[in-house]
Amino acid sequence: MAVEAEVYVSPAKYPDTVTRNRRTQKFRATVDKDETITLDIGTLVSSIVVQLSDGAVVAHTKALGVITITEDPCVDVDVVGFAVGAAPA
């Protein structure tokens, strides 16, 4: 069972012409492998998660509005990220 990471998320940004009506959100968390990060922008189409220590990309999966950390090993890693939601129908 996945555990929800304690996460700081910036408020969801609403559509503008640059993102073609897609909502975006930034976040920061300290994560372990298999922890999840739930965002407020609906279905995710693109995301990036990087370590604050060295900028290395952290392996993760995305499903609907949730990011799951899959990086191994990953224990108490401070990360930041950015996600883009799906275009509205």
Residue 60, domain extent:
3-13+21-85
Predicted TM-score of the model (pTM): 0.81
pLDDT at 62: 95
For residue 77, the number of C-alpha atoms closer than 13 Å in the C-beta half-sphere is: 26
Q: How many domains does the chain contain in total?
A: 1
| Cα–Cα distance, 25 to 13 (Å, whole number) | 6
Residue by residue, pLDDT tens for the chain (89 residues) are: 567 777 777 777 665 555 567 888 999 999 999 999 999 898 999 999 999 999 999 999 999 999 999 999 999 999 999 999 988 77
pLDDT at 88: 77
25's CB contacts (< 8 A; 6+ apart) are 9, 10, 11, 12, 13, 39, 40, 41, 82, 83, 85
